[in-house]
Amino acid sequence: MKVIIIGAGFGGLRLARKLNNKSGFDVTLIDKHNYHAFQPLFYQVATAGLDASNISFPLRKVFHGSKNVRIRLAEVRQVITAQNKIVTNIGEFDYDVLVIATGANTNFFGNQSIIDHALPMKTTAEALELRYRFLHNFEKAVSAKNEKDLQSLMTIIVVGGGPTGVELSGAIADMRHYVLPKDYPELDFSKMTIYLLEGQGKTLGTMSEASSEDSRRYLEKMGVKVMTNSTLKEYDGVKATLQNGETIDAATLIWAAGVKGNVPEGIDKDLIARGNRIKVNKQSRVEGSANIYAIGDVSYFENEAYPNGHPQLSPVAIQQADVLAENLRLIESKSDKPLKEFIYNDKGSMATVGRNLAVVDLAKPKLHFRGFIAWIMWMLVHLLLTLGVKNRFSIFSNWVYNYFTYDQNLRLIFRNYDSNKIAAK
């Protein structure tokens, strides 16, 4: 069975590993990058807590010794379903089975001013771009000619009160308290302002009420101005305008308010559901197709438990990949056994807010943890999910060093920054 997997995120990589060295399978894993990036820690790359290499793992190294998995660095331009082939920038590939695991990208909801001026954080390049902007603004702040420019350079707006927005706001607040005053003693960091804008009525809206309340309380205690029921209307690079007419002068605005699926060209538009996701059935097979599957953030499946589709989280992608691997083995072996249906086993959710502060919701048993214990749980889970012993050791070493020294050593600007250009849009 010639299997092509598009995307080496949590779902695509998991599926390739499940089919690795399994007889009867010829697997090609295609991605734009030659590494797997651990997205949950992008915010730590953005705030100089971790190096990008700490959360990235070479794809080819994962499959050392593989007899049936091959990596191709390519960009998929079109899926030609009628001919069972895909077109990429390096040529065409035929398939017996196609698995779309292309994940999701930032959703700006068509707002051109935000597209042009806000900083997203869905890729390694974007996380590094955010770091450069963040640090470069403080270098400009020490030479600011007037109070208005100084305040703008020291004001940061984070849009989106989900886990990414909460974790990023908390990390920036920790930097303001522990790190930046030592780097820039000439600046008064009591004037630095961090806003977290959330369109709904609470932060961490997909988690429990207790987690929402705890996260907001922690952030406000850390000095973050949490503004719920606040929607951004436009941003011109220097001023943010809210739907209620209120304005905030800020040189940095980080967009963490939405994602949309990366659907390749050639997929029937009638199969695209809300959030630009592909409709699939209980086996993750694309509706109306016999040999195309979609897993992870790009897939959309409704059931009674998830009437708006499953959450776009790594455990969903991993579990879908596990079920699909079993089913492909059954299909390849021409087994009479019925195909397995995907049922999401929700083990819970978590988010860290800052130093010694996190919230954790366990699904079974239904428990809520907060504070230091939740923070330790969050670190252990993220360490275990990171690929590679070396990466785990590097991340753990950085965390230990940062914890005891109240410092980071990665506040480096490796290139000249042009404020008129935002990379990786």
pLDDT of residue 425: 40
Burial grade of 224 (CB within 10 A; 0-12, 13-18, 19 or more): buried
Mean pLDDT of the chain: 93
Distance, CA of 86 to CA of 99 (rounded, Å)? 11
- pLDDT, residue 416, reads 63
Phi, psi of 34 (to 5 degrees): -95, 25
Domains and CATH numbers, the chain: 2-32+74-106+259-332 (3.50.50.60), 112-257 (3.50.50.100)
The length of the chain, given as a count of residues: 425
Report which of 159, 166, 295 is spatially closest to residue 231, judged by C-alpha positions.
159
Q: Supply 167's token pair.
A: 């974790």
Residue 360 near residue 6 (C-beta atoms within 8 A): no
Strand partners, 31: 73
Residue 412 has a pLDDT of 82
Q: Which residues of the chain have pLDDT under 70?
A: 415-425
Q: What pLDDT shows up at residue 417?
A: 53
Q: What is the pLDDT of residue 168?
A: 96
Q: How far apart are CA 373 and CA 380, in angstroms?
A: 11
pLDDT score at 116: 94
Q: Which residues pair with 86 in a beta bridge?
A: 79, 93
| Residues 351, 160 contacting (CB under 8 angstroms) | no
One-letter amino acid at 204 equals L
Tens-digit pLDDT profile for residues 298-332: 999 998 889 989 999 999 999 999 999 999 999 99
Pairing of strands 155-159, 232-235: unpaired
Residue 50 CB: number of other CB atoms within 10 A? Answer: 24
> What pLDDT score does 424 carry?
40
d(CA 61, CA 159): 37
Distance CA 105, CA 99 (A): 18
Q: Using DSSP, how many helices (H) and how many strands (E) does the chain show?
A: 12, 25
The residue type of 112 is Q
